[in-house]
Structure 1
Amino acid sequence: MGTEAVTAVRRAPRPRADALRNRERIVAAAREMFVEFGPDVPLDEIARRAGVGNATLYRNFPERAALVHEVVLSVMRRTTERAEQATAEEADTFAALSRFTHEAADERIGALCPMLSGTFDHDHPDLLAERDRLEEAVRGLIDRAQAAGRVRADVAVGDLMVALSQLTRPLPGTGCLDFDRFIHRHLQLLLDGLEAPARSGLPGTAVTLEDLRREP
């Protein structure tokens, strides 16, 4: 690399702290509004909730797809961190799984599913890397709990991910704020069903992550 190129690299400005904060506020506001109103919520409304001008939003995310991508990536990253923290901080393997399940529900994974349809790039390298990290963390929670005899043997990580997705998706005609009253109650019913010893046999076979990716 020549001297001029090195100098150019050294002079490349880092994003200012206030610019980073604005970007984080936009992503947080977009996540909230996508959950509440769906992926087609006006971007101007997102800017208003984030407390930034329209120009700031479009400077960071010139297209809706770029903002959707960042929101999905952020949710996946936050969910992974919750799994890793539960693993590190809970000595009881089933307590770790329960903590993660309830905390992951607060990310509203299911409510974000509509954003993953259409022209969304599911195979973007950033998303694939974060998906792998998330799946590894959740699989670790399940595997450890099963090895300790705390989770029934006839389930797999896909079963948990399907249930989380379904239970965190608002019912038609209901608002997310009303739905919040019920989600953790029903998640606890799910967790009671996962705990060993099993009280009944399950139809079919355990759902793997590969099953979830397989085309119908």
Structure 2
Amino acid sequence: MDVVAATARRAPRARALRVDALRNRERIVAAARDLFTEVGSQAPIDEVARRAGIGNATVYRHFPDRDALVLAVVRSVLKRTGDRAEAALAQGHDPFDALTRFVLAAADEQIGAMCVMLDGAYDPGDPEVKALEGRLNGLVETMLARAKHAGMLRADVDLADIIVAVAQLTRPLPDLVTVRRSSRRYLQLFLDGLRTPAHSTLPAEG
């Protein structure tokens, strides 16, 4: 009976520890996502810990090295952005409105942190990343196809145009730039440029 009682007392404590560990992990990933968006994947781990409000040792307990942290951020951004893309598709019947909702939601989810993939700092060969990326790409392709079919989206826009443009437009400008404006201003200009009729022809790649 004493063993049973002791086990019962330990169980709530173990669950509390697991909840605390999960909360710390989420705080670390959120802080790293913000920093990667601002300065890239070489952001100091000390600053990640400071912004997360925890010690360096806690960061390294969850993520033994920078590569593990980068991987967690990429997974998080892809998962959350994919969820927002799914929600955008499910709301309303105007295809361009769905695309607009997704673009603004992707900015909210700090998709600029994905520049760690664009700048070669990360090898996206992880099976979970590939699955999440495939899901996100499929959802955005569906949005584009619907908007084009409705005659609302210029025909020469593709998936890469959306992802790369949003990722770059949501990254903060260098300190030497004195104009400080919300990224949503530039996202709206970008969205307006996607609409038909197009007043130019996009240059060919290369």
TM-score grouping bracket, smaller chain normalisation: 0.7 to 0.9
1:211 — aligned with what? none
How far off its partner does 1:21 sit?
A: 1.1
Q: 1:119 to 1:194 in 2, by over 3 A?
A: closer
Q: 2:130 aligns with which of 128, 140, 146?
A: 128
Contact 1:116 1:122 survives alignment (8 Å): no
Count the aligned residue pairs. 191
Q: What's 1:86 paired with?
A: 88
- AA matched with 1:195: R
Check conservation: 2:33, 2:110, Cα contact below 8 A.
no
2:106 paired residue number = 104
Classify the secondary structure of the residue corresponding to 2:72: helix
- Using a 3 Å threshold, how does the CA distance of structure 1 residues 35 and 161 change in structure 2: closer, same or farther? closer
Residue 189 (str. 1) matches residue 180 (str. 2): no
Q: Which moved more, 1:161-170 or 1:132-141?
A: 161-170
Aligned pair in 2 of structure 1 residues 44, 158: CA closer, same or farther (>3 Å)? closer
Q: Is 71-80 or 165-174 further displaced after alignment?
A: 165-174
Q: Residue 60 of structure 1 aligns with which residue?
A: 62
**Alignment-derived partner of residue 202 in structure 1:** 201
Shift of 1:117: 4.3
Alpha carbons 1:34, 1:40 under 8 Å: kept:
yes
Task: Provide the C-alpha distance between the structure 1 equivalents of 2:165 and 2:121, rounded to a whole number of angstroms.
Answer: 25
SS of the residue aligned with 1:142?
Answer: helix
For the residues of structure 1 that align with 2:145 and 2:176, how far apart are their CA atoms?
35
Distance 1:112 1:152 in 2: 25
Task: Give the C-alpha shift of residue 78 in structure 1.
Answer: 1.1
Q: Quick check: 79-88 or 156-165, which moved more?
A: 156-165
Q: Which residue of 1 aligns with 2:76?
A: 74
Structure 2 match to 1:212: none
CA–CA separation in structure 1 for the residues paired with 2:38 and 2:199: 37
- Alignment partners' CA distance in 1, 2:117 and 2:194: 29
> Is this contact kept in 1: 2:36–2:116, CA < 8 A?
no
Query: Residues 114 and 167 of structure 2 are in contact (CA less than 8 Å); yes or no, is this contact kept in structure 1?
Result: no
TM-score by length of 1: 0.77
Q: Give the distance between the partners of 1:201 and 1:37, measured in 2 at CA.
A: 33
Cα RMSD of the aligned pairs, angstroms, is 2.5
> Residues 49 and 119 from structure 1, CA distance in 2 versus in 1: closer, same or farther, beyond 3 angstroms?
closer
| Residue 95 of structure 1 pairs with residue 97 of structure 2 | yes
Q: Which residue of 2 aligns with 1:8?
A: none
- One-letter code of the match for 1:147? H
| Percent identity of equivalent pairs | 52
Q: Is 1:111–1:170's contact at 8 Å kept on the other side of the alignment?
A: no
* SS in structure 1 at match of 2:109: coil
**TM-score scaled to structure 2, two decimals?**
0.80
Aligned to 2:160: 158
Single out whichever of 131-140 and 90-99 deviates more from structure 2.
Answer: 90-99
Structure 2's unaligned 5+ residue stretches are 1-13
Amino acid at match of 2:29: V
Instruction: Give the distance between the partners of 2:57 and 2:182, measured in 1 at CA.
Output: 39
